[in-house]
A and B are shown apart, each in its own frame.
Chain A
């Protein structure tokens, strides 16, 4: 059992395979984390409402950029207004520099797909660092 504090992480990606990969990687490092999945922006907002109704805060978010409907950038703006201190990582196979620059300029961490053990560890470190900073 992990000794890490339990965190609630929102994972939004229209690809089920990508979500499966993400949750499997995160579970290997942080098996006690509460991983909440959604397949699109509307899903994400619905999950957030449910969590808020149950008094659960989201500690960090992993959002795919290229999704049907609301893309990851638009979703990130909406989620940041709800959780201004929670880190947001944008995950994408679109690794073009303008996309990475846009993410950085808006204060989001960019992760190039596919997610690996190393990139997952980097994300976990960001989450823990952000949490330590808000104590």
Chain B
């Protein structure tokens, strides 16, 4: 398994931080709560290792065995899938927060539509940071929401792509809602992505020539 260099890990985390920060501002306004962001944790891992990690958490908290996943496929300069992963319980609580916030005038759409909207905003924001910082055009498909058993949903991820990096947890207000962002890249894209990260690291010391991280 390929390892990330410390500087690569650091820059990827900062890009995720920037993307998630922008998305959190939009989400916070929608639900009327401050969204708390963790320090991003970035690593390369096999699909199986990530699934095992989720399943191990799910087994200690049975309420987290059922998940809602908002997924966007992307192609172009990078190919893969970006995911917002929530327990089904937290996903529904998040949708309820928005409905309560909008009161009687709320559009009582199915929670899946709301989650697609916010999940899409979060994922687009993070992918947008990658695109801008690395100078890669990324074409993003509309978000798809799926609900199901953790193993069933996650084992189906990234077929043909056995490398992925995992990132950042967030929680909402005092409600302890939590979600995770995952980015799945195929092998070619991992190589292109890391080459872009390395180039950007070199350029960073000359801020007039590049967008910041």
| A interface residues with partner B (beta carbon < 8 Å) | 14-18, 20-21, 24-25, 28, 66-68, 92-99, 113-117
Instruction: Assess whether B39 is interfacial by the CB under 8 Å rule.
Output: yes
Asked if B37 contacts A66 (CB within 8 A), the reply is yes
Instruction: Assess whether B205 is interfacial by the CB under 8 Å rule.
Output: yes
Give bound CA distance, A115 to B35, whole Å.
22
Give the residues in chain B near A98, CB-CB below 8 Å: 28, 34
| B interface residues with partner A (beta carbon < 8 Å) | 6-7, 10-11, 13-14, 17-18, 20-22, 24-25, 28-29, 34-35, 37, 39, 201, 204-208, 211-213
Q: What is the distance, in angstroms, from A64's C-beta to the closest C-beta of chain B?
A: 9
Q: Which of A14, A17, A94, A116 contacts B11 (CB 8 A)?
A: A17
Give the residues in chain A near B212, CB-CB below 8 Å: 21, 113-116
Give the residues in chain B near A17, CB-CB below 8 Å: 7, 10-11, 14, 201, 204, 213
Q: What is the distance, in angstroms, from B181's C-beta to the closest C-beta of chain A?
A: 14
Give bound CA distance, A30 to B210, whole Å.
20
Asked if B17 contacts A15 (CB within 8 A), the reply is yes
Give the residues in chain A near B21, CB-CB below 8 Å: 92-95, 113
In the complex, the chain B residue whose C-beta lies closest to that of A100 is B25
In the complex, the chain A residue whose C-beta lies closest to that of B26 is A96
Q: Which of B18, B28, B201, B205 contacts A97 (CB 8 A)?
A: B28
Sample (14) of A-B pairs whose CB atoms are under 8 Å apart:
A15-B213, A16-B10, A17-B7, A17-B201, A17-B213, A24-B206, A24-B207, A66-B37, A66-B39, A93-B21, A93-B22, A94-B21, A98-B28, A117-B208
In the complex, the chain A residue whose C-beta lies closest to that of B173 is A98
In the complex, the chain A residue whose C-beta lies closest to that of B15 is A17
Give bound CA distance, A24 to B35, whole Å.
31
Q: What is the distance, in angstroms, from B2's C-beta to the closest C-beta of chain A?
A: 20
